[in-house]
Amino acid sequence: MFRSPSRSASRFETRFLLPIGAVTLAAIVLSAAAMFIAAHQSDSISVARQIRTTRHAINSSVYELSKQQQTIAVWDQAVQELHSPSTNWQWVNEEIGVWLHQLFGHDQVYILDPRNAPVYAMMDGERASADQFLRVKPDLQALIDGVRDPVHAEQNRQNHSRLGQAASVAGSGDKVEFDAHFLEVLGRPAAASAMKFMPSTEAVTQEPGSEFVIVSVRFLDSDFLRELSERNLIDGVRLSRLDTTASGEKALPLTSDLGHPFGYFIWAPELPGTKILWILGPIAGLVLAAVVMMMALLVRWLRRSMLELQASEAHAQHLASHDVLTGLPNRSLFDERLDQALVRTRRGDRLALLTLDLDRFKQVNDTLGHVAGDTLIREFAGRLSGLVRSTDTVARLGGDEFAIVQTGIQDRHDVDALCARIFEAVRQPFDLLGRQAFVGASIGVVLAPEAGLDRAELMRKADIALYHAKDEGRDCHRYFTRPMDDTIKRRAIIEEELRTALVSGEGLKVFYQPQVAGAGDPMIGLEALIRWEHPTRGLITPDQFIPVAEETGLIVPLGEWVLRQACATSRRWPHLFVAVNLSPVQFRSSEFAKRVIEIVRECGADPHRIELEVTEGTLLENDEFTRGALDTLRVAGFRIALDDFGTGYSSLSYLRQYEVDKIKIDRSFTQHLGHAADEDSAAIITAIVALGHTLGLTVAAEGVETEDQWQALAAMGCDELQGYLFSRAIPEDEVADLLVTPHRVRKLLSERVPMS
């Protein structure tokens, strides 16, 4: 008896296929369920780990901020610089504020003096007004109180611990006293830390309570989130005021140290279990092949990454010891090379240390731009490297300053020959962006072992010699000598005493020398001249202290003090103009013209009766600040006079470009009038007067001492005269007498009174 095919098929399905299918399906279901359960469990563990990692990373950011501050706050040099009476704020900005921003990403850095008054501020990598601290002071006051009072800081830490917050840290020890918290600054979540500046060694001390405090703020912005993501492998992290999690995202509440919520960290957690579900396929061979391929790619990637890492380390080592712009050794490597050369010098060798500074580099930089300036530095560095031997070292110390260690020298002739080659190379034109530029170089030289074997001392002496080279006309080289050191020390004493005199006002006086009409009468103006009567050293002449004031920046407050005295005199005799001399240094400030106008307005003087005297060197700077300042001052009503005309370039172009109101013929021409040995003076003065009148300018002559000079200058057409013939420089109280005394009597008076 035969079974039908359909029935046999049905029994097969019933007895074998269905059970096998059921078992297979059950196995598939159970395997899938186990896989899903394992994936879910893996996802849950991963999410929990990421939450712990994220919370730890957020909380540890406060502690890291304090550790980053410590690299600056515990530093002898920082303590000394901040306590210095003449703090170098540019150094503070570059070595503290900008350094913390560039290296660690600090968004805001403030420095407070011992009275908690702000003295420095950095915001987003740029120096800002210290008053910017007042905006964030309410948010940071508790932090500052904490670092000023260690007991208070410890109480804060205990309170935060009781609240269950980890994002705060406070401490004190032999070297650091700080307080750091997680809080809101200007309505934005931020990590903030305050730390006292402390000496790093026992060589520097400071009185308790006199410490400066540095305050750092790092906002939890995109940079922080990116760093958090990169360091902890957290994808898609963002910060939100509200819990706006989307599908597949997790949120971590963000609270302040006092438990106040102010946002959520939201990110897309890594789900390894889910990823595995998508990776596993129905064919084991494909999975295996994929794994093998992935492993091969991983090995290849690791190998490539290792090679890149090795190359990166080598590049980093090179950058650590070489200047990025020129490729020359930087100061660190230069110091090392110099130390090595000094070791050989102790065994009998001789060396020369040369410090170089490019002359007129600032003019090129301002005129052609920073790109041209960088090109000039690179090209000069290349020329310099080609002038020395392989045993010598050429380094760029910064800016346009270079240094050379010339080893194995026999005598000064070897150094002179190198300097001659340098001058010859630097005098050749530099092709900068299609334009030719001409610069010079000044060189300071010190020899070892003659000048010592200490590296720092040799550098100091070379810099002194460089200073003298620049002071003596530039484009030359000078060897260090002991009198140079004495000169520097004398200038330092003058600087310190002048600074004291400016604060106390003791010894500083303004004298006035009258200026008369070309006919000799009447008196039409006064020139304000600074005098310094030192309480112990007597009269210090302007040519002794004015250069020091210009070099140190004291010329700015000194010039403002003279201007205030001149304004008071102008108000006393409003029918006279009062001339005030300006220094080129004062024009370097973009606020100079505004400041002059403010002072004159505060003193109640008429700017139309104030004459501002500038030198030809000021106009030859030809920069934006000078041109803008002079234009602003002329618009405000001030008259601009060009002093000592004829001693410099005497360029017609800048007379027209700057639109001065008056030119003053230098006394060197006036004093030779009538001398048989100098018949050209009269012709030169006549030409200057004609030039001035053609341009519509007032022409004045200085240094008139004799009747013959007066008569000659009046005949030539000089509009105004000034000199001892009419009066010496006198105190303000004596001006009233001259106003009622004819100039001939004034002459007799001046002859009886010694000239000053």
Task: Based on the fold, state whether residues 262 and 335 are members of the same structural domain.
Answer: no
Inter-residue long-range contacts of 622-630, CB under 8 Å, 24+ positions, other chains counted:
622/363, 622/367, 622/654, 623/363, 623/366, 623/367, 624/366, 625/587, 625/588, 625/589, 625/590, 625/592, 626/584, 626/587, 627/657, 627/658, 628/590, 628/593, 629/587, 629/592, 629/593, 630/593, 630/658
Q: Residue 432 domain-assigned? A: yes
Q: What is the percent of the chain with per-residue pLDDT over 70, rounded to a whole number?
A: 83
The side-by-side arrangement of strands in the sheet containing 440-448 is 393-398, 401-407, 351-359, 440-448, 477-479
Per-residue pLDDT at 240? 75
Most confident of 47-51, 139-143, 228-232, 492-496: 139-143
In single-letter form, the type of residue at position 115 comes to R
Answer whether residue 12 is part of any domain. no
**Residue 496, helix vs strand vs coil:** helix
Is 4 contained in some domain?
A: no
268 and 285 in a common domain? no
Q: Does one domain contain both 552 and 415?
A: no
Residues 242 and 152 in one domain: yes
Report the Cα 481 to chain-centroid distance in Å. Answer: 32
pLDDT, tens digit, for every residue of 138-153? 999 989 998 988 665 5
C-alpha distances in angstroms, 18 versus 12, 15, 24? 8, 7, 9
Check whether 578 has a pLDDT greater than 90.
Answer: yes
Per DSSP, the three-state class of 501 is helix
Identify the weakest region by mean pLDDT among 58-72, 115-129, 288-302.
288-302
Global model pTM greater than 0.85: no
Q: Is residue 679 part of a domain?
A: yes
Q: Is residue 576 part of a domain?
A: yes
283-287, 534-538, 578-582, 752-756: least confident range: 752-756
Question: What's the DSSP call for residue 567?
Answer: H
Q: Final residue of a domain: which of 464, 480, 496?
A: 480
In the chain, % helix, strand, coil (3-state, to 5) comes to 55, 20, 25
pLDDT of 150: 63
Rounded Cα–Cα distance for residues 328 and 324 (Å): 8
pLDDT given for residue 547 in this prediction = 86
Residue 527 lies in a domain: yes
Using the predicted structure, report yes or no on whether residue 580 has a pLDDT greater than 60. Answer: yes
Question: Do 287 and 280 meet the contact criterion of CB atoms below 8 Å apart?
Answer: yes
Among the ranges given (206-220, 284-298, 484-498, 686-700), the one the predictor scored with the smallest mean pLDDT: 284-298
- For the ranges 286-290, 448-452, 655-659, 745-749, the maximum mean pLDDT occurs at 448-452
Cα dihedral 684, 688, 689, 695, rounded to 10, equals: 160
CA distances from 220 to 223, 281, 390, 430 (A): 8, 42, 51, 48
Residue 199 in this model has a pLDDT that exceeds 90: yes
Q: Is 675 exposed, middle or buried (0-12, 13-18, 19+ CB in 10 A)?
A: exposed
- Look at residue 10 and tell me if it is in a domain: no
551 three-state secondary structure: helix
CATH number, position 266: 3.30.450.220
> Can you give the pLDDT at residue 747?
53
The pLDDT value given to residue 171? 47
**Top-confidence residue, 272 or 713:** 713
CATH classification at residue 612: 3.20.20.450
Residue 480, SS3 per DSSP:
coil
Residue 3: pLDDT above 70? no
Predicted confidence at residue 42, as pLDDT, reads 77
Tens of pLDDT along 97-127? 999 999 999 999 999 999 999 999 999 999 9
Sign of CA dihedral 91, 118, 58, 185: negative
Q: With the C-alpha atoms ordered 26, 27, 31, 32, is the resulting torsion angle positive or negative?
A: negative
Q: Examine the pLDDT at 178 and tell me if it is beyond 60.
A: yes
pLDDT at res. 30: 67
Cα angle: 316, vertex 322, 325; to 5 degrees: 105
Going by pLDDT thresholds of 50, 70 and 90, the confidence category of residue 648 is low
pLDDT at residue 517 is higher than 80: yes
DSSP symbols for 603-620: HT--GGGEEEEE-HHHHH
Name which residue leads in pLDDT, 253 or 513: 513
Give the pLDDT confidence score for residue 291 in this predicted structure: 66
Q: Highest-confidence range of 60-64, 376-380, 680-684, by mean pLDDT?
A: 376-380
Looking at residue 12, its pLDDT comes to: 41
Cα–chain-centroid distance for residue 515? 43
pLDDT level of residue 649 (50, 70, 90 thresholds): low
Same domain, 287 and 267: no
For range 437-444, the mean pLDDT:
91
- Give mean pLDDT, residues 240-264: 74
pLDDT band at 738 (very low <50, low <70, confident <90, very high): confident
- Report the pLDDT averaged over residues 175-186: 84
The residue from 480, 499, 526 where one domain ends is 480
Which residue type does 272 have? Answer: P
Q: Residue 364: CB partners within 8 Å, gap ≥ 6?
A: 372, 373, 376, 432, 437, 439
* Rounded Cα distance, 133 and 506, in Å: 35
Q: How far apart are CA 28 and CA 25, in angstroms?
A: 5
Confirm whether 658 is domain-assigned. Answer: yes
Longest dimension (CA), the chain: 164
269 and 150 housed in the same domain: yes
Band of residue 748 on the pLDDT scale cut at 50, 70, 90: very low
User: Of 669 and 675, which is predicted with more confidence?
Assistant: 669
Which residue range is the domain that position 354 belongs to? 331-480
The two structure tokens encoding residue 240 = 């939100």
3-state SS class at 179: strand
445 and 511 part of one domain: no
Q: What is the mean pLDDT of residues 450-465?
A: 90
For the chain, what is the mean pLDDT?
82
Sign of CA dihedral 527, 533, 539, 544: negative
Closest-CA residue to 353 (of 402, 426, 308, 298) = 402
Q: For the segment 672-725, what is each residue's pLDDT rounded down to a tens digit?
A: 786 654 567 788 888 889 988 988 899 999 999 888 888 889 889 999 999 988
pLDDT in tens, 324-372: 899 999 999 999 999 999 999 988 899 999 999 998 888 888 778 888 8
In a 3-state reduction of DSSP, which class is residue 184?
Answer: strand
Same domain flag for 245 and 380 = no
Distance CA 73, CA 66 (A): 10
Distance, first Cα to last Cα, the chain: 151
Q: How many residues does the chain have?
A: 756
* pLDDT tens readout for residues 13-48: 455 445 544 545 555 566 666 777 777 787 778 777
Mean pLDDT of 600-615: 93
Are 407 and 463 found together in one domain? yes
Burial class (CB in 10 A: 0-12, 13-18, 19+), 743: buried
CATH number for the domain spanning 414: value is 3.30.70.270
Contact 225, 236 (CB under 8 A): no
Q: Average pLDDT of 601-607?
A: 94
Residues 249 and 317 in one domain: no
Q: What is the pLDDT averaged over residues 87-97? A: 95
Q: Binning pLDDT at 50, 70 and 90, where does residue 627 land?
A: confident
Highest mean pLDDT among 227-241, 584-598, 650-664, 669-683: 584-598
Whether 464 and 588 map to the same domain: the answer is: no
Specify whether 84 is located in the same domain as 176.
yes
Better pLDDT: 407 or 649: 407
Q: Is the pLDDT of residue 543 over 90?
A: no
Q: Please count the structural domains in the chain.
A: 4
**Per-residue confidence (pLDDT) for residue 492, from 0 to 100:** 83
List residues bridging with 508 in a β-sheet: 532
